[in-house]
C-alpha cells in the first residue's frame, strides 16, 4: 500500500473504532438525519454532559462530525455529520414518511428551494411553510433556482399553522425556526440564511448545501 492508501485505510479504521461504541453509533445515526445541538443530543441519549462531550470529541477527531455556532443564539452550537463521513461505511437506517414539510422563518428562500429540490429527487409529496412568512419569495432564491433548472412555485409564502399536518415529517432548514419550535420532533438542517448577505454567492452556497442534503436524504426515505 502506498502512503495515500495507507492514510485512507487508517482513516477508515479510526471511523470504525469511533463507531464501535454504542453511544457514538447512536449519535451518528441521529446525525444522518440532521443537525443537533449538544443539549438536544443529551436529552435524546439521556447521558451526562461530560460523557457526551467525550463522545463528541472522539467523533470529531475521527472525522465523523463537525460543529458550528448557531446564527440565532451564539452561545449554542450544532453538531453535523462531516462531509463524506460515511463513505465506505454502512449508512443510516431507512425511514418512512407520508409528506415532507420544509420550514424556515420567512418561507421565502431556503424552505422554497428545499421543496423544489425535493420534488426533483423524490416521489414523496412535499410542501413548505414559515413561522413568520414574508410577503413574497426572495428574488435571489428565484434566480438561483432558475440557474439550476428549477422554477419555484408561484406561491405566496405560507404560515406554518395553515400548512402543517399531523403526519408530516418536518425538516427545519433555519436555526431560528428550529429554536422557535423546541417541542417539534423532526429533522433540522442548520443552513445559513442567504438573505443575510443577499448575494449571488450566498444563494449558490445555500442551494448547494440544500441540494446535497436533499439528495442524501431522499434515497433513505420511503412513502409511508
Spatial contact of 139 and 176, defined as CB atoms under 8 Å apart = no
Residue 28 has pLDDT above 80, yes or no: yes
Cell of 8: 485512507
Other Cβ atoms closer than 10 A to 68:
12
Cell of 97: 414518511
Torsion over CA of 92, 122, 104 and 94, rounded to 10 degrees? -20
Mean pLDDT, rounded, for 10-21: 91
Q: What is the pLDDT of residues 195-220, one digit of tens each?
A: 999 999 999 999 999 999 999 999 88
* Domain-wise residue ranges, the chain: 3-81, 95-223
Return the pLDDT at 4.
62
State how far the Cα of 56 lies from the Cα of 67, in Å rounded to an integer.
9
Cell 449508512 found at: 91
Burial 85-96 (b: 16+ CB within 10 A, else e): bbeeeeebeeee
Mention every residue, 6+ apart, whose C-beta is less than 8 A from residue 29. 92, 93
Q: What is the pLDDT of residues 55-95, one digit of tens each?
A: 999 999 999 999 999 999 999 999 999 998 887 665 555 57
Please tell me if the domain spanning 3-81 has the same topology as the one spanning 95-223.
no
Domain 95-223 has CATH 3.40.50.2300: yes
Mean pLDDT, rounded, for 112-126: 97
Return the ∠ at Cα 71 (arms to 146 and 66), rounded to 5°: 90
pLDDT band at 1 (very low <50, low <70, confident <90, very high): very low
* Distance of alpha carbon 120 from the chain centroid: 18
Return the pLDDT at 189.
98
**Which top CATH class is 3-81?**
mainly alpha
Q: 162 phi and psi, to 5 degrees?
A: -85, -15
Return the pLDDT at 35.
97
Residue 3 has pLDDT above 70, yes or no: no
Amino acid at each position: 500500500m502506498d502512503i495515500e492508501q495507507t492514510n485512507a485505510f487508517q482513516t477508515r479504521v479510526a471511523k470504525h473504532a469511533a463507531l464501535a461504541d454504542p453511544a457514538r453509533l447512536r449519535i451518528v445515526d441521529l446525525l444522518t438525519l440532521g443537525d443537533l445541538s449538544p443539549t438536544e443530543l443529551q436529552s435524546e441519549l439521556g447521558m451526562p454532559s461530560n460523557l457526551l462531550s467525550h463522545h463528541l470529541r472522539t467523533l470529531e477527531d475521527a472525522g465523523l462530525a463537525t460543529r458550528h455556532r448557531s446564527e440565532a443564539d451564539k452561545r449554542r452550537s450544532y453538531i453535523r455529520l462531516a462531509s463524506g463521513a460515511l463513505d465506505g461505511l454502512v449508512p443510516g437506517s431507512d425511514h418512512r414518511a407520508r409528506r415532507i414539510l420544509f420550514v424556515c422563518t420567512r418561507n421565502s428562500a431556503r424552505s422554497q428551494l428545499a421543496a423544489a429540490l425535493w420534488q426533483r429527487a423524490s416521489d414523496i409529496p412535499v410542501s413548505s411553510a414559515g413561522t413568520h412568512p414574508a410577503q413574497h419569495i426572495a428574488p435571489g432564491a428565484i434566480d438561483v433556482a432558475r440557474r439550476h433548472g428549477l422554477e419555484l412555485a408561484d406561491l405566496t409564502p405560507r404560515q406554518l399553522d395553515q400548512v402543517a399536518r399531523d403526519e408530516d415529517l418536518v425538516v427545519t432548514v433555519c436555526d431560528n425556526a428550529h429554536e422557535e419550535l423546541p417541542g417539534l420532533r423532526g429533522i433540522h438542517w442548520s443552513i445559513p440564511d442567504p438573505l443575510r448577505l443577499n448575494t449571488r454567492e450566498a444563494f449558490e452556497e445555500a442551494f448547494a448545501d440544500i441540494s446535497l442534503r436533499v439528495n442524501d436524504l431522499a434515497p433513505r426515505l420511503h412513502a409511508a
